[in-house]
Amino acid sequence: MPTAIQLVGREMVDPIGSEFGMAADEIAYGATLEQAIGRMSQRCQHPDVDLFAATVRLQERAGGNLTGLLKLNAATVRDRHRMRLKIKAATAEGRMSAIILTAAPSPPALIALLSPDFYGEVIHEPFIQTGLAAMGVWVAIGNLIMRRMVDMRI
């Protein structure tokens, strides 16, 4: 297993390659496999690396078929990745709607900044200013609601 970790450290691209390389170095300097992978998991703070660390810890303590466990891990990681892509595709419309609705007030605001006389005296009316402020608040609230609607975690 330490040789495999060293090989992954050399062959994989960063950042995961350097993490496995550090784990291989820790093992070479006397740390146990469980300690090195545990520290790698703490550094990465990623659910897939945590799953790998738990698998190594389980195999170190209880023994068993590491190959089978790692195959299950690989399948789980692939399934999670597929699910993330499906969620990203399913929420694309909502995310784009949030962007468009948030950006919609920008052209009139830009016109008001570039040509202050364009809106004439209307822009200085208290009722209009209150309405514009309320519109800004409602756009912000709508944006927060839409972000919550499309924020899905697995």
Q: Are 136 and 105 in contact (CB under 8 A)?
A: yes
- Is 0.85 topped by the overall pTM? no
* Cα–Cα separations (whole angstroms), residue 95 to 53, 83, 126, 152: 34, 17, 34, 12
Q: At 65, which helix (H) or strand (E)?
A: none
- The answer on 100 and 75 residing in a single domain is no
State pLDDT tens for residues 34-78: 899 999 999 999 999 999 999 888 888 888 788 888 899 999 999
State pLDDT tens for residues 8-40: 889 999 888 999 999 999 999 998 888 999 999
Predicted pLDDT at 154: 64
- The answer on 49 and 12 residing in a single domain is yes
Residues 75-108: b if buried by 16+ CB within 10 A, e if exposed: eeeeeeeeeeeeeeeebeeeeeebeeeeeeeeee
- The answer on 79 and 20 residing in a single domain is yes
Residue at a domain's end among 42, 59, 84: 84
**Is the pLDDT reported for residue 120 higher than 90?**
no
Half-sphere CA count of 92, side-chain side, radius 13 A:
6
Predicted pLDDT at 118: 86
- The answer on 128 and 64 residing in a single domain is no
Shortest CA distance to 122 belongs to which of 107, 132, 137?
A: 132
- The answer on 100 and 70 residing in a single domain is no
**Is the pLDDT reported for residue 121 higher than 70?**
yes
- The answer on 13 and 47 residing in a single domain is yes
- The answer on 103 and 79 residing in a single domain is no
Residue 71: domain span: 2-84
Predicted pLDDT at 147: 84
- The answer on 15 and 80 residing in a single domain is yes
Half-sphere CA count of 153, side-chain side, radius 13 A:
3
pLDDT interval class at 123 (50, 70, 90): confident
- The answer on 119 and 102 residing in a single domain is yes
